[in-house]
A and B are shown apart, each in its own frame.
Chain A
């Protein structure tokens, strides 16, 4: 157990639908990162939050949005789902110390869009 909790582990839905993926970071970590990994593809950075504020944005589609709440958990909202959105979605967290922060990843949420 890495200390980063992601729910749900598996999710099957239909095209056009909307889903929400949830991430609870390790205790004390202020930064949350979201990554997407499609079948046989690399890990693509989507977005990062630090203490409730958006910190960095990657290749995140306009149909996707995220937020980090006061208790530091984060949610990734995926809407108007397409077949190509089927992927593993990973959340990671890191602490607030300057220097070589290590990202700790969760086990991922596997989304299947039919």
Chain B
């Protein structure tokens, strides 16, 4: 699996958009970008994934650069419940591969 680089921590004001960057410069053509988060000691929660197009769901938006070497997860209106560790993971397109978690970004939403 390709390696990802994320900032160790970030703060965001409640109600503002939280933009979490991720670098994955060694991503290969058959790899997706996944985002998960872990709220304190809970099981990791899937947020969104994408291959090369921007994606949006009820939780977040994922912006992937045209060269696919980096991406940004956007939480449009952050709430205190969004405080968590966010993991950017690159994983093979070919199904049922494990997820390899890095250290992620600890996002703190400030009231």
Contacts and interface: CB of A to CB of B under 8 A. Distances in A.
Interface string B34-51: 100010011111100101
Contacts, number: 70
Interface string A76-114: 000000000000101010111111111111111010000
Interface stretch (A11-19, A50-58, A66-74): A50-58
A42 interface: yes
Given A105-B43, A107-B43, A108-B43, A42 B102 contact: yes
A98 B102 contact: no
A108 B36 CA distance: 16
Size category of the binding interface on chain B: 20 to 34
Contact of B96 (A35, A101, A104, A108): A101
Dominant secondary structure at the B interface: loop
A24 interface: no
Interface of B: 32, 34, 38, 41-46, 49, 51, 91, 93-104
Interface of A: 2, 4, 30-31, 33, 35, 42-43, 45, 48, 50, 55-56, 58, 88, 90, 92, 94-108, 110
6 contacts: A50-B96, A56-B97, A100-B32, A102-B46, A102-B49, A103-B46
